[in-house]
Amino acid sequence: MKDLTVQRLSPGRRFVIGVPFVWLFIFFVLPFLILLRISITDMGAGIDPFAPLIDAASGSWRLNLKYENYAAIFREAGAGGDSLASGLGQTIYLEAYKTSLKYAFFTTFFCLLIGYPFAYFIARSRASIRPALLMLVMLPFWTSFLLRVYAWKGILADQGVINKALMGSGLITEPMVMLYTDVSMLVGMTYVYLPFMVLPLYATLVKMDFSLLEAAHDLGAGPWKAFWLVTVPLSKAGIVSGAMLVFIPSVGEFVIPSLLGGAENIMIGRVVWDEMFSSNNWPRASALAVVMIFLILFPLALYYHYSAAPNSRGKS
């Protein structure tokens, strides 16, 4: 027991464990604290997002904090309000959050709908061809993210590949409007994030004991009943992990809405960009980003729970 305790507290072990924590502190905790500090900054008439939070000019210490950046997110805009929200009669920030959550939800749903059969097929295939099939899933990552999104503009445009093929075959007489619509948004986001759903599902399904399906068939269960009662429950951890890996980045997506979305498809990533670089309102943009981070903490907690659950069961 003594040797084990010494081994756990050895400098090498502490170093190996400490490196990820240092990495997280430098590249996540510290930037988040800076973001939080900017979000409560009162820039006044100036343009300094790092204006002092403590005012000692009058001889008495006074906190110079501005919580208005958070309050403005949850109230209606007035006639003389902010650049993005004024004159709209609604809170564009809340609308952007709702739009982001909506697209993130449907992206996750379609990725699961398409990705589950892919992952199941790869898991049931011969072990000799699984690496090749996994390489095909990961092949899009070898191409620039921006180029892949631009490619969909050429496919979905009025004079794009799909419309030309349909018009050439005589199925339609005039181009269908697909670009800058909900269709183009969901197609682009589903295509980009599909591998993030397939890989966790495959990692779960490939470890499943498929003899359980044979046992279910022997007990009289049909293929679909065996699938719902055996395969789906056993792959629940992969479903949740894949859903979180797709949902969380989809909420803050910026590139795809900018290139494939229309004027009404305003997601929170675009609003943060406009507030920071168009309006030069860094505190408001930081407040929006902080709220978005807290918004995805719950899905992150779910992801951590279902990722850690199999390890906990294995240790017990």
- What's the length of the chain? 316
* Top-confidence residue, 32 or 14: 32
CA–CA distance, 240 with 235 (Å, rounded to integer): 9
Q: What is the pLDDT of residue 170?
A: 83
Query: What band does 265 get if pLDDT is binned at 50, 70 and 90?
Result: confident
Residue type, 254: F
Average pLDDT over residues 211-240: 84
Quote the strand ranges of the chain, DSSP E. 54-55, 62-63
Pairing relation of β-strands 54-55 and 62-63?
antiparallel
Fold of 72-315: MetI-like fold (1.10.3720)
Two structure tokens written together for 133: 């099939």
CA–CA distance, 223 with 217 (Å, rounded to integer): 7
The per-residue pLDDT for range 58-115, each reduced to its tens digit, is 555 666 777 888 888 877 544 344 544 444 434 788 888 999 999 999 999 999 999 9
Q: For residue 152, what are the contacts with CB-CB under 8 A and spacing of at least 6?
A: 184, 187, 188, 191, 260
Q: What is the pLDDT of residue 85?
A: 47
CA–CA distance, 146 with 282 (Å, rounded to integer): 26
Query: What band does 52 get if pLDDT is binned at 50, 70 and 90?
Result: confident
The per-residue pLDDT for range 122-151, each reduced to its tens digit, is 998 998 999 999 999 988 888 888 889 989
Q: What is the pLDDT of residue 23?
A: 92
Query: What band does 50 get if pLDDT is binned at 50, 70 and 90?
Result: confident
Q: What is the pLDDT of residue 261?
A: 83
Two structure tokens written together for 293: 């981070």
Average pLDDT over residues 178-190: 90
Averaged confidence pLDDT in the chain:
82
Q: Which of 126, 132, 124, 135 is nearest to 202 (CA)?
A: 124
Question: What's the whole-model pTM score?
Answer: 0.81
